[in-house]
Amino acid sequence: SQWKEKILSSLLTSQADENGSQSAKKKSPKRNNGCFNCDGNHHLNECPEPKDFKKIRQRQTEMRNRNSNTPRYHFDGPPSEKKFRAGRISDELRNALGIGRNDIPEYIYRMRRMGFINGYPPGYLKKAIERDDSNEVLKFHMVDESASETPETNERPDSPPPTINADKMIYYCGFNQYYRDLRDIEDFRVPPFLEFVAFHQETLNKAHAKKVEERNRLRQRMA
């Protein structure tokens, strides 16, 4: 009948459109940033061409600039209007979590399991470091270590390790701060705050010494 022919025609048309759109999707080329050295469709470490370090650094800088232009959402109000403080939870949040005023929240127990170093938020630790050479370290490792050209870095080989400003470290009750009425369900020794900071400083010194030693060995191999 006529209505069956219309339905069959519409089904065939929609199926043809769907197949056409799928084939178009398959034919669309996959976006690739390409090689920083020769603009080929492969990674830098797979490039067979001689390394053009000036071009590589330029392309890496362009990529970082593009990524830095990504919009971010943050609080622009004055400090007096900030409602939240790191390491402090409000009574409203405690009520929502079902814990009392002197109870330790669950995330503190998880921080303990991660250890004093890994458990402390790395973003807050970086803010407490007076001199952070992460940018130089990043530049140092961006170029292939097997290259014949010495990577550029602004840091002196004998530079002192970064120091931690204890005033910028965050107190977390049950993790690096303790008081008598704190209810703890674990047998955990909470270190004094300054001892906690000193432990982080010692770990930072060891990491810095290891990093300097690795750089010196690399420079000796390239000499």
Q: For the segment 189-216, what is each residue's pLDDT rounded down to a tens digit?
A: 999 999 999 999 999 999 889 988 888 8
Q: Where are the alpha helices (DSSP H) in the chain?
A: 2-27, 53-68, 91-97, 106-118, 122-128, 134-142, 193-222
Name the residue range of residue 174's domain.
Answer: 89-132+158-222
Which is more confident, 62 or 71?
Answer: 62
Q: How far apart are the C-alpha atoms of 129 and 168, rounded to whole Å?
A: 8
Query: What are the tens digits of pLDDT across the range 115-138?
Result: 999 999 999 999 999 864 544 443
Q: Give the largest Cα separation in the chain, rounded.
A: 91
The tens digit of pLDDT for each residue in 71-109 reads 655 555 555 445 678 888 888 988 988 899 999 999 999
Tell me if 193 is assigned to some domain.
Answer: yes
Q: Are 104 and 182 in contact (CB under 8 A)?
A: yes
Q: Is residue 180 part of a domain?
A: yes
- Tell how far CA 89 is from the center of its chain: 25
Alpha-carbon distance 133 to 18, whole Å? Answer: 54
Spatial neighbors of 148 by CB under 8 A, at least 6 apart, are: 51, 222
Residue 64 within any structural domain of the chain? no
> How many domains does one find in the chain?
1
Regarding pTM above 0.85, the answer is no
The Cα 6–Cα 2 span in angstroms is 6
**Which has the higher per-residue pLDDT, 4 or 51?**
51
Q: Is residue 43 a contact partner of residue 35, using CB atoms and an 8 Å limit?
A: yes
Residue with token string 């008081």: 179
Q: Which of 105, 101, 81, 82 is nearest to 91 (CA)?
A: 101
196 falls within a domain? yes
Backbone angles phi, psi at 75, to 5 degrees: -95, 120
Residue 33: what pLDDT?
60
